[in-house]
């Protein structure tokens, strides 16, 4: 006898999602970095397509959407942990990783909403082979037109442009430990050690090349503590919809709070 599945009692429609986001303040005058977890909704009618449709409709004619499109499989295999790689095959793995392609490279663990968004007409993708962003709307090209190969989430990155342009962050079922722009705080307070990373790229001549670059050893574990600070200061707008917690807040405020927290709670004098 087959197990009876729980009945859907609170399906989320396009209209309900649009209404909820509008009440939080989402509009077409904003630049918004979006992080989402589709499974957080009990049932979203239309799935990822509905979410992307709503976001685009609310920010059309003036707004801008921004989503990380990180190609985690295009990275230094000695850093892999899920699964880990034997040192004996590091070289073989590096030589087998396909060169980065902004359209066809897989973006594992980024979620269905990001995958759907990346495929939409007019979406611009930044050029970093591992930690790229996708953007759509009025300032998409401005956000993505320059991202340094070294320290790719620091001052020459979409994260810094989002900060400068007073953007916002929208979390649909995701939480603060996923907020990519907040890594900018780690660069600004010099609290992380430097490491050498690597990616597979295609040269102008069409040849595959293993490219090394410098970055910080980033760690988002402190961001949840920053959330608690912001919540106490009433800096986060929240609502619930179909079992999913939705959070909306200022990107620059979150980065500033994270910078202050990390300056007080981490000491790496060796790297200062």
Quote the pLDDT of residue 9: 79
Quote the pLDDT of residue 7: 81
> Quick one: CA dihedral 148, 177, 258, 215, positive or negative?
negative
Quote the pLDDT of residue 1: 53
Quote the pLDDT of residue 10: 87
Instruction: Give the tens place of pLDDT for each residue, 139-186.
Output: 999 999 989 999 999 999 999 999 999 999 999 999 999 999 999 999
Name the E strands within the chain: 31-36, 64-70, 124-125, 131-137, 168-172, 194-202, 208-216, 237-241, 244-250
Q: Is residue 246 part of a domain?
A: yes
Quote the pLDDT of residue 55: 98
Q: Is residue 6 part of a domain?
A: no
* pLDDT < 70: residue spans in the chain: 1-4, 267-272
Q: Is residue 143 part of a domain?
A: yes
Q: Is residue 7 part of a domain?
A: no
Q: Is residue 218 part of a domain?
A: yes
pTM score: 0.93
**Interacting residues of 38 by C-beta distance below 8 A, sequence separation 6+:** 44, 47, 48, 51, 111, 112, 113, 173
Q: Is residue 9 part of a domain?
A: no
Q: Is residue 203 part of a domain?
A: yes
Quote the pLDDT of residue 267: 65
Q: Which domain holds residue 105?
A: 14-266
Count of structural domains within the chain? 1
The residues facing 68 across adjacent strands are 133
Q: How far apart are CA 180 and CA 272, in angstroms?
A: 23
Q: Is residue 74 part of a domain?
A: yes
């Amino acid at each position: 006898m087959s197990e009876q599945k729980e009945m859907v009692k609170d399906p989320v429609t396009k209209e309900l999602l649009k209404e909820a986001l509008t009440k939080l303040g989402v509009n077409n005058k904003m630049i918004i970095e979006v992080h989402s977890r589709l499974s957080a909704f009990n049932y979203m009618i239309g799935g990822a397509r509905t979410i992307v449709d709503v976001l685009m409709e609310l920010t059309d004619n003036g707004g801008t959407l921004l989503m990380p499109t990180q190609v985690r499989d295009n990275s230094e295999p000695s850093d892999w942990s899920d699964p880990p790689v034997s040192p004996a095959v590091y070289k073989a793995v590096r030589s087998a990783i396909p060169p980065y392609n902004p359209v066809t490279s897989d973006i594992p663990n980024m979620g269905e909403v990001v995958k759907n968004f990346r495929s939409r007409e007019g979406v611009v993708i930044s050029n970093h082979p591992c930690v790229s962003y996708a953007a759509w709307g009025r300032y998409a090209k401005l956000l993505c037109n320059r991202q340094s190969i070294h320290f790719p989430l620091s001052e020459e990155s979409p994260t810094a442009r989002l900060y400068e342009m007073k953007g916002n962050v929208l979390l649909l079922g995701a939480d603060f430990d996923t907020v990519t722009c907040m890594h900018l705080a780690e660069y600004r307070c010099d609290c992380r050690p430097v490491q050498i990373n690597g990616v597979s790229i295609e040269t102008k001549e069409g040849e595959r090349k293993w490219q090394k670059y410098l970055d910080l050893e980033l760690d988002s574990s402190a961001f949840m503590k920053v959330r608690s600070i912001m919540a106490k200061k009433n800096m986060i707008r929240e609502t619930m919809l179909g079992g999913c917690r939705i959070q909306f807040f200022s990107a620059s405020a979150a980065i500033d709070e994270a910078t202050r927290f990390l300056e007080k709670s981490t000491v790496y004098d060796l790297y200062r």
